[in-house]
């Protein structure tokens, strides 16, 4: 897999030339998210700068392990996984390794809470509302997500 080029801008307003998987679509210098301890579950994805509504802050299809249903069941025989997103029943994206992608560090809102981001059909993590600096990015993983 080839990691994409960061879509951020340098101080001189030139396109960044760094390749990135972990923080895609941005490199570490341009991303607005970071991984920190979460009060919801272990680690979480947090805004290190304010995030605008509709802004893309991550990509679940970059830096993750793509699995077939058979591979998923071999790796997770119980059918339960905490860092896996399945856009349909034929493919799974496993983001268990945070050193390769921070996308899987986004937790879902606790019961009664609201998600402030969503995973689009293409795997991008998109803010549903403005997310203030320091706030955790919370996504819905869909009906197939089980802890």
Higher per-residue confidence, 128 vs 43: 128
Give the model's confidence band at 54: pLDDT under 50 very low, under 70 low, under 90 confident, else very high: very high
CB 34 within 8 A of CB 46: yes
List Cβ neighbours of 62 (8 Å cut-off, separation of 6 or more).
1, 3, 4, 21, 24, 25, 101, 103, 123
Nearest of 58, 50, 63, 1 to residue 26 by alpha carbon? 58
What's the rounded Cα separation, in Å, for the pair 41 and 63? 22
Domain-embedded: residue 15: no
Domain-embedded: residue 21: no
pTM: 0.82
Domain-embedded: residue 13: no
Report how many helices (DSSP H) and strands (DSSP E) the chain contains, helices first: 1, 9
Mean pLDDT of 121-146: 83
Residue 87 lies in domain: 33-140
List Cβ neighbours of 109 (8 Å cut-off, separation of 6 or more).
40, 115, 116, 138, 140
Say yes or no to pLDDT of 144 above 60: no
For residue 146, what pLDDT is reported? 45
* Domains: count for the chain: 1
Higher per-residue confidence, 45 vs 103: 45
Domain-embedded: residue 147: no
Residue % of the chain over a pLDDT of 90? 32
Residue 103: which CATH number? Answer: 2.170.270.10
Domain-embedded: residue 3: no
Nearest of 61, 38, 26 to residue 137 by alpha carbon? 38
Domain-embedded: residue 20: no
What's the rounded Cα separation, in Å, for the pair 109 and 95? 18
140's enclosing H/E stretch is: strand 139-140
Residues recorded for the chain? 147
Say yes or no to pLDDT of 147 above 80: no
């Amino acid at each position: 897999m080839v990691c994409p080029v960061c879509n951020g801008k340098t101080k001189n307003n030139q396109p960044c030339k760094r390749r990135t998987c972990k923080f895609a679509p941005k490199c570490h210098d341009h991303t607005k998210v970071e991984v920190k301890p979460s009060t919801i579950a272990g680690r979480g994805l947090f805004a290190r700068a304010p995030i605008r509504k509709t802004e893309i802050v991550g990509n679940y299809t970059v830096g993750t392990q793509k699995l077939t249903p058979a591979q998923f069941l071999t790796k997770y025989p119980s059918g339960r996984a905490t860092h896996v997103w399945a856009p349909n029943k034929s493919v799974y994206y496993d983001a268990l390794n945070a050193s390769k992608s921070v996308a899987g560090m986004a937790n879902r809102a606790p019961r009664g809470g609201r998600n402030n981001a969503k995973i689009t059909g293409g795997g991008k993590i998109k803010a549903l509302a403005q997310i203030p600096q320091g706030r955790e990015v919370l996504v819905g993983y869909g009906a197939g997500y089980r802890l």
